[in-house]
Amino acid sequence: MPYLVDSHAHLTFSDTFDIEALLTNAKRAKVNKIINICTDTLSFERGEKVANLHPWIYNAAALSPHDVEKKEAENFFKQVELAAKAKKIVAVGETGLDYYYHKRSQELQKEYFIRHIELAKKYSLPLIIHCREAFVDLFEISAKYLPFPALLHCFTGSLDEAIKATNLGWFISISGILTFPKSQELRSVVEKIPLEKMMIETDSPFLAPQKYRGKSNQPAFVIEIAQKIAELKNCPVEKVIEVTAENAISFFSL
Ligand SMILES: [Zn+2]
């Protein structure tokens, strides 16, 4: 079986995680590259240590839309800029807009989203975007800065939004949500969007696939998403693994 790439995991989200065990499980499950998403100073410092010990773990960093109102926000943004400049990250992200969880901070989210786009462009890094119930603003803001490479992580939008994104040359990344009983709309998006525009991710420790629902998610479970995509597209799982891994390797220049 070919090797999997988990394009979005929060390996260093908490210092309570047994990272060595998570990585051993991942290796055993044939995951050979993981993009570790750092959303604050501590997760980034831990991420740097992990990447130094395990060169198959790559860091991305940005102030997420969940954190724009925190008092450390501006400091962390500056840290992301330094990391980009020093080539310590393979992407700027996750940044973006979340109007589902955070209606109040919309203006501030937009401001930081724009600053992250500018930062990514300045240092020629791709962007990892988090977008929930904010696609109109997302496309409107992005239009002023195009073209730039982006990945819509944990995609849960409509087919229309997926087509718009992929027409811009962007990728969508599919998470364990695909395996949830209620995710009919996402399954029809996956049926219609070509594999060549897709990556797979766990978003661990969140969003464990249906088979592990209620458990803490981990990169080893990314195979569940590949299997579901293969089933929907009626193709061998090896092909899903190969194409999504190739997409990630070229997008993040791994
Ligand atoms: Zn995430």
- Is the bond leading into 94 cis (omega within 30 degrees of zero)? yes
pLDDT interval class at 13 (50, 70, 90)? very high
CA of 203 to the centre of ligand 1 (A): 5
Tally Cβ neighbours within 10 Å of residue 17.
Answer: 17
CA of 130 to the centre of ligand 1 (A): 7
What value does the CA radius of gyration of the chain take, rounded to a whole number of Å? 17
Q: What are the pLDDT digits (tens) for 172-215?
A: 999 999 999 999 999 999 999 999 999 999 999 999 999 999 99
Per-residue b or e along 118-137, where b marks 16 or more CB atoms closer than 10 Å to that residue's CB: ebbeeeebbbbbbbbebbeb
Burial of residue 1 (number of CB atoms within 10 Å: 0-12, 13-18, 19+): exposed
pLDDT (mean) for 25-37: 98
* Among 28, 3, 16, CA closest to 205: 16
What DSSP designation does 124 have? T
CA of 63 to the centre of ligand 1 (A): 11
CA of 8 to the centre of ligand 1 (A): 6
Q: What are the pLDDT digits (tens) for 44-77?
A: 999 999 999 999 999 999 999 999 999 999 999 9
Q: Report yes or no: 181 and 210 within 8 Å, Cβ to Cβ.
A: yes
CA of 231 to the centre of ligand 1 (A): 25
